[in-house]
Amino acid sequence: MQNLALGLIILSVAAVPTQNTKINRLRDVRTIYLDEIFKSVRTETFKLELTKRLTESNKVSVVSDPHDANAILSVDVRHGSKYENQGTVSLESIPVNDIGRTVIATETIVFRLSSQQKQILWMFKLNLEEIMGKTERETSIRLAKVLSSKLLKAIEKDLRSPV
């Protein structure tokens, strides 16, 4: 009986991915390290809120050392522009190419969860204007809520899919 219990313990420990285990699927991720960009003072609220939400899910935990992580969450902010229609305008003082259109600056945030082996496991793009709040703190909380929700849903979906 003791041998059976010991064998089950060894099997259950072996089945849990560690930082040294090659992670091929999102379902295998248990620990996440938030990349260096998350260490700035401006992202502190976001980092704390994201860590809280992911940890409370009991699906993944956030670790402070990248060597203890199965995966690394990184972020890239991409600056761009788009045209926005401005309705009807007077033709007298505006060049033909500029009629009714204004160039608007945009920011797209790309989150990427990669294994220690640099394999991309999950990616999510978000336009910053979609989650802007009245304050930086409000925006950070909204962003953490959206990101954690999307990531946890992706993990759930991967867990339900066939191996």
CB neighbours of residue 32 within 10 Å? 22
Query: Rounded CA gap, 143 and 148, in Å?
Result: 8
Number of domains in the chain: 1
* Average pLDDT of span 50-63: 95
Domain hosting 81: range is: 2-160
User: Is the pLDDT confidence value at 9 over 80?
Assistant: no
Query: Rounded CA gap, 75 and 34, in Å?
Result: 9
Highest mean pLDDT among 21-35, 81-95, 126-140: 21-35
Identify which has the larger pLDDT, 146 or 86.
146
| CATH value at residue 111 | 3.30.160
pLDDT tens, residue by residue, 72-120: 999 988 888 777 776 555 555 555 455 567 777 778 889 999 999 999 9
CB neighbours of residue 148 within 10 Å? 20
Mean of all residue pLDDT scores within the chain: 80
For tokens 């379902």, the residue is: 27
